[in-house]
Amino acid sequence: MRFRRSLATAASFALLVIAPRAALAWDDLGHMVIVRIAWQQLPAAVRERVIATLLEAPSDAGLVELRPSGADPSREFMFAALASTWPDLIRHPDPAARHAYHRGDWHYIDLTWSTAPDGAAVPWTTRDPDAANIVVKLAALSAVIRDRGTDPGARAVALAWVLHLAGDLHQPLHASSRISDADPRGDHGAASFAIDSTMSLHWYWDRVLSARYPRLPDESRERYVARVTEAVLAHTGGDSLAARAGQLDFAVWARESLASAQRDVYCCGIAPWQPASDRYLAHADAIAEPRIALAGFRLAALLERIFAQ
């Protein structure tokens, strides 16, 4: 990349991009809002099956430990919501037993493209995505959960991944890798597009919901998620999005996210090494909230299909 920066800044940027896919996809708040939207749509019987399945997780996975203690009515929802964040928690190498479940390449699919002189998106059909990618894994993991003959621990782990990946695939940059002069091998979902020495454009989009709705002092995590969920549904017209929930083709989800990345991300004055403006945050939020809501409705439909047996 052709950046004229000090060695200190260059070193910071190297740390930012050395593992291009180390960035998350939606932060914890985004994933928990997605699960809350889904939870509100699910019949009680499906909710019970979700919890019963998660409780079968292997002891070394650290999944069951996420279940809140006590008898609070929100306990089971929070368990499912926290389970959706587990695939990001296990990125940390400690403890090693839990980290063994980490699969970095499951979180995304690199659909490569570039921008023509007239601004149109041009797909690079000569570059195939990695064999292990989010579209392939969502289908495979869903099949694992449906198979009642599969080891219960494997089904629990697969369910936590599905709760997470259904959200990931609706983040536009998790289906995109833009090729340019600066990134001839692709920008890995804008993970190598630096806004400053500490933030990539990818991470900016991951945490857009938290930036738009900061947690209030003394606000419980459950109440925070509930408040933001209510705001997202109020802003996005939940009924119209619910009508699209029946589309459960994961390849279609990926194409939708790619189109949004091409249309909505590299615009509105965003540029490398330039702070994002308030205008860009408002723009990103207007794109992210409907994607998050749609992910919630589709996750509900997917779980109903999986546990319909």
User: Rounded to whole angstroms, how far apart are CA atoms 238 and 37?
Assistant: 9
pLDDT in tens, 33-68: 999 999 999 999 999 999 999 999 999 999 999 999
What are the structure tokens assigned to 275, written together?
């702070």
Pick the residue with more confidence: 23 or 245? 245
pLDDT tens digits along 153-200: 999 999 999 999 999 999 999 999 999 998 999 999 999 999 998 999
What whole-number distance in Å separates Cα of residue 49 and Cα of residue 262? 38
Question: Which tokens sit at 159?
Answer: 């369910």
pLDDT of 12 over the 50 cut: no
Is 34 within the bounds of a domain?
yes
Domain membership flag for residue 19: no
Sheet containing 121-123, strands listed edge to edge, beginning at the edge strand earlier in sequence:
121-123, 112-115, 177-179
Domain that holds residue 218: 25-306
- Tell me if 15 is assigned to some domain: no
Domain count, the chain: 1
Give domain status of residue 198, yes or no. yes
pTM: 0.91
DSSP β-bridge partners for residue 179: 114
pLDDT for 270 equals 94
d(CA 248, CA 295): 11
* Residue 10 pLDDT exceeds 50: no
| Residue 6 belongs to some domain of the structure | no
Query: Which token pair is 29?
Result: 């708040």
In this structure, is residue 14 part of a structural domain? no
Q: What is the mean pLDDT of residues 77-97?
A: 97
In-domain check, residue 4: no
CATH code (residue 183): 1.10.575.10
Residue 203 lies in a domain: yes
Q: Please tell me whether the peptide bond between 95 and the residue prior to it is cis, using omega within 30 degrees of 0.
A: yes
